[in-house]
Homo-oligomer: A and B are copies of this chain.
Amino acid sequence: MDKGVYWFGANGTEGSADMKVLLGGKGANLAEMANLGLPVPPGFTITTEVCNDFLAANLRRSAGLEAEVQSAIQKIEAEIDGGFGDSENPLLLSVRSGARASMPGMMDTILNIGLNDDTVLGLGTKAGDLRFAYDSYRRLIQMYSNVVLGVSHHYFEEILEVVKEERGIKLDTELGTDDWRKVIANYRDMVERECGQPFPTDVRDQLWGAIESVFRSWTNQRAITYRRIHGIPDNWGTAVNVQAMVFGNMGDDSATGVAFTRNPSTGQSEFYGEYLVNAQGEDVVAGIRTPQHLTKSARLENGEKTLSMEERMPSVFAELTKVYKILEAHYREMQDLEFTVQKGELWMLQTRTGKRTATAALKIAVDMVEEGLIVRDEALSRVDPARLEQLLHPTLDEGAHRTVLARGLPASPGAASGLVVFSADEAEALAAKGEEVILVRVETSPEDIHGMHAAQGILTSRGGMTSHAAVVARGMGRPCVAGVGAIRVDYADNAIYVDERVVNKGDVITIDGSSGEVILGRVPTQKPELSGDFETLMKWADEVRTLGIRTNAETPTDVQTALEFGAEGIGLCRTEHMFFDSDRISAVREMILADDENGRRQALDKLLPMQQEDFAQLFRIMKGKPITIRLLDPPLHEFIPHGDNEIDEIASASGVDATVLRHRARELEESNPMLGHRGCRLAISFPEICEMQVRAIFEAALQVKSEFGESSGLEIMVPLIATRTEFDLLKERIDSVADEVEKEKGSRVSYMVGTMIELPRACLQAAEIAETAEFFSFGTNDLTQTAFGISRDDSGRYLDHYMRKGIFPVDPFVSIDIAGVGALMQIAAKNGRECRPDIKLGICGEHGGDPDSVRFCHRIGLDYVSCSPYRVPIARLAAAQAALEQKKTDWVA
């Protein structure tokens, strides 16, 4: 048998930090601290391989393992001066699990192993405190019986309550030695009754029970589910750490605490943490006593009276300071420490990479580069791009109390509070008076745009992550919670009904578009503040990344925002959004209602100058940076109302016959609009729409050229191509209109014509399409919908269930499904490039702002990713990380 037990302690530690696979995270770091000469209670780690063998051998431990453990215990006894099970001078042990990755759902910790009716007396004598010994004993029984034997907590609580009542006292601390004895006796009776066997008094039985329980917990349901969701292989197994107990509750010269080597919420380089005198770790967790600050400065800053560790235990604090500095310098990373002081002696129980806020992550990464601890590449890899989002939007104050009314889809990040209003006009009116409002609708439609602009946030009871509300809100950077099925929006009553609650117009609510929460009343929010660290890190990212970063935007405001966030071009300008403005929508409807081409052309003539100005504005802002303009994409029925009331309203407002409108709406109705008469199919059926848009584009481009000199970067994109013929027909038309306008104006602009690749068939036909298409932009939203056969809007009903069951490891609408959608993209990229080596490849689906997807796009060699303005920084960092990763792989290969 291979070596199954690794010793750590003053006496020749066998493991090290780079042995996480075998020893788990906790075990490897305990070994590393011992190697560094830091005070670690001696102990040993049983390897993950032993765990796997144990599970494979039908939960049987081998004789070899028993021998190894036995000899390791003897080493602890030698170092600590005590005997495991020795009634005079008992050695107590802790047993803790420790897998490669932190993994909730498994057995965690059992303390005080080694206590029984004999050894408890020895412990009491040794500690000079019998009450302490019995308290420790009852803790062992309680913890062990619960975790190993499965006895429910409430049995123990009941017994404790009865004893306290008998004694007429309220606090555990008032119980004396005899009381604890009584409690222990009752505990043991109860455990025997519940389990059909007595609580083990043999200390070796206790130890093996605990160890095997850790092993078994690897296969419990919660752990399996967690692994399935997080993609952790079942064969990793867990290690077990067995360690000599140290006690922070041996009097006022004892203590326990946790610390961070830097401030985990601000990133400030200051020692930060809490401690409790005369307490064990679990007391801190239980929250019965309030922990104290570690440093004097923190105490003063918070106006606390109770002394800090720095003041109360200056020498131990000095030692701790030395330790934390050693650890941070050694790991070159902010550490999260656990320590115990036993009778004035410092013991380190754990060190690991500390969790931190996004702000702190940024600051620490940048500071550490400046301190020379790490290089820029390392700094870049240490900030999670996804978490940058919380820096860019207001967030809810974490400490604040919240009454959550309901939960919906986190459709557009950020938090906002305001008065409930039910119509766009109200929203605008109140906002004009300086009120903050939340616009609440069943669904939003193009008519609501002005209200969405005026509101602080948008809440809808229907619609998914790609509903009108969600898409528009994300573009605007407004928080939005969509599809809150649990609420009923009643326009007639001007009220929202949630279970038995009613929220009326004018009541204040708060929405958190990052979590999907709808909260009653106002919750304080934290405004985002972009530090210089952010700029620094972004600059470093830009130096490293090879992927271009563009944005999906069409309004001047959004485009401006994106440019400020570092976008290098527009990857998707959705021209249909320009049709929704109140001054255009009536012309759009006139076009849709027209009986023939002539009628449509008349209406389009009205739109032409507006579209021209739309594009001219963009060209002016972009100053020659690339702009991908997509021709009209959605089915025409999206521009006309459907509900009977809405139709009447619109009809009377725009002077159209309601019957005509209703008839046309019915005519245009589709059973599956996502797969309907849209995209290039529209341009082929109604070439005049395409012609108007192309004319507007070229007139604008030439106009701006005449103002500023050369303008370029124009890319015209045809949506929803399934066959090369569709593309060829439309390219021909685009080229001919371009030529016409250029001749009229006597000037030319350079431009490209390309296509969205958003249908599986287009991916398979990429070689053919690339013969005439000059660029591809992957529309991964629709590609995901068609590859999976899943309507994103309808998927709410089962998507959660699918994620919980691990059928989808991640939501394929959030992160590219590499095995399916990604495979299609790879086919298209490869075949497209083979046919046209210099073809420009990008992505403009929402995945363009998802770090894992950005990594994938880098790997398959796309030229750029395009995402919503607020995700541009995320994409920049993710692209840099992808480039670094590749550098590493290339180096290895």
Binding site for B on A (CB under 8 A): 670-677, 679, 681, 684-685, 720, 722-723, 725-726, 729, 758-761, 764-765, 768, 782, 785-791, 793-794, 797-798, 801-802, 805-808, 817, 819-821, 823-824
Contact = CB atoms under 8 A, between A and B. Distances in A.
Given A681-B798, A791-B672, A807 B725 contact: yes
Contacts of A685: 797-798, 801
A76 to B, nearest CB: 46
Contact of A797 (B675, B677, B726, B764): B677
A181 to B, nearest CB: 50
A684 B791 contact: no
Contact of A785 (B675, B765, B790, B821): B675
B722 A805 contact: no
Contact of A759 (B759, B789, B794): B789
A675 B794 contact: yes
A368 to B, nearest CB: 41
Given A765-B819, A807-B725, A672 B760 contact: no
A786 B760 contact: yes
A247 B759 CA distance: 61
Contacts of A759: 787-789
Contacts of A720: 789
Contacts of A671: 673-674, 791, 793-794
Given A675-B790, A760-B787, A760-B820, 14 more contacts: A670-B793, A671-B794, A672-B791, A674-B675, A675-B794, A684-B805, A684-B807, A722-B820, A723-B807, A723-B808, A759-B789, A760-B760, A761-B787, A761-B788
B789 A789 contact: no
Nearest to A635: B794
Given A723-B807, A805-B729, A675 B675 contact: yes
Contacts of A819: 761, 764-765, 768
A765 B819 CA distance: 7
Top 9 A-B pairs, shortest CB-CB distance:
A761-B820, A672-B791, A675-B791, A760-B760, A759-B789, A670-B794, A672-B672, A672-B674, A761-B787
Contacts of A764: 787, 819-820, 823-824
Nearest to A821: B761
Contact of A765 (B684, B723, B789, B820): B820
Contacts of A790: 675, 722
A670 B791 contact: yes
Contacts of A768: 819
Contacts of A673: 671-672, 791, 794
A765 B812 CA distance: 15
A408 to B, nearest CB: 16
A791 B793 CA distance: 16
Nearest to A760: B760
A450 to B, nearest CB: 25
Most chain B CB within a 10 A radius of its CB, from A720, A760, A789, A802:
A789
Given A684-B805, A794-B670, A807-B684, A722 B788 contact: yes
Nearest to A726: B807
A720 B807 CA distance: 14
Nearest to A668: B797
Most chain B CB within a 10 A radius of its CB, from A674, A761, A765, A801:
A761
A269 B643 CA distance: 67
Nearest to A802: B684
A723 B676 CA distance: 25
Contacts of A823: 764
Contacts of A794: 670-673, 675-677
Nearest to A671: B793
Contacts of A807: 684, 723, 725-726, 729
Contacts of A684: 798, 801-802, 805, 807
B677 A798 contact: yes
A793 B764 CA distance: 24
A789 B782 contact: yes
Nearest to A796: B677
Most chain B CB within a 10 A radius of its CB, from A672, A681, A726, A802:
A672
Nearest to A725: B807
Nearest to A785: B675
Contacts of A782: 789
Nearest to A723: B807
Contacts of A820: 722-723, 760-761, 764-765
Contacts of A672: 672-675, 791, 793-794
Contacts of A793: 670-672
Nearest to A685: B798
Contact of A789 (B786, B797, B817, B821): B786
Contacts of A789: 674-675, 679, 720, 722, 758-761, 782, 786
B806 A725 contact: yes
9 contacts: A672-B791, A672-B793, A675-B785, A675-B794, A679-B789, A685-B801, A729-B807, A758-B789, A759-B788
A668 to B, nearest CB: 9
Most chain B CB within a 10 A radius of its CB, from A726, A807, A819:
A807
Contacts of A765: 819-820
A767 to B, nearest CB: 10
A143 to B, nearest CB: 37
A498 to B, nearest CB: 17
A214 to B, nearest CB: 29
A207 B13 CA distance: 107
A798 B726 CA distance: 12
Contacts of A791: 670-676
A789 B760 CA distance: 8
A620 B520 CA distance: 64
Nearest to A826: B764
A624 B547 CA distance: 60
A427 B500 CA distance: 50
A792 to B, nearest CB: 8
A880 to B, nearest CB: 30
Contacts of A798: 677, 681, 684-685
Contacts of A676: 791, 794
A790 B785 CA distance: 12
A684 B725 CA distance: 40
A723 B808 CA distance: 8
A817 B798 CA distance: 32
A764 B787 CA distance: 9
A824 B764 CA distance: 8
Nearest to A467: B671
Nearest to A758: B789
A758 B786 CA distance: 11
A808 B724 CA distance: 10
A671 B671 CA distance: 7
Nearest to A759: B789
Contacts of A797: 677, 685
A805 B681 CA distance: 12
A807 B685 CA distance: 12
A13 B397 CA distance: 98
A804 to B, nearest CB: 11
A189 B572 CA distance: 64
A112 B643 CA distance: 70
A651 to B, nearest CB: 22
Contacts of A787: 722, 759-761, 764, 786
A788 B725 CA distance: 13
Contacts of A760: 760, 786-787, 789, 820, 824
Nearest to A672: B791
A722 B786 CA distance: 11
A324 B554 CA distance: 74
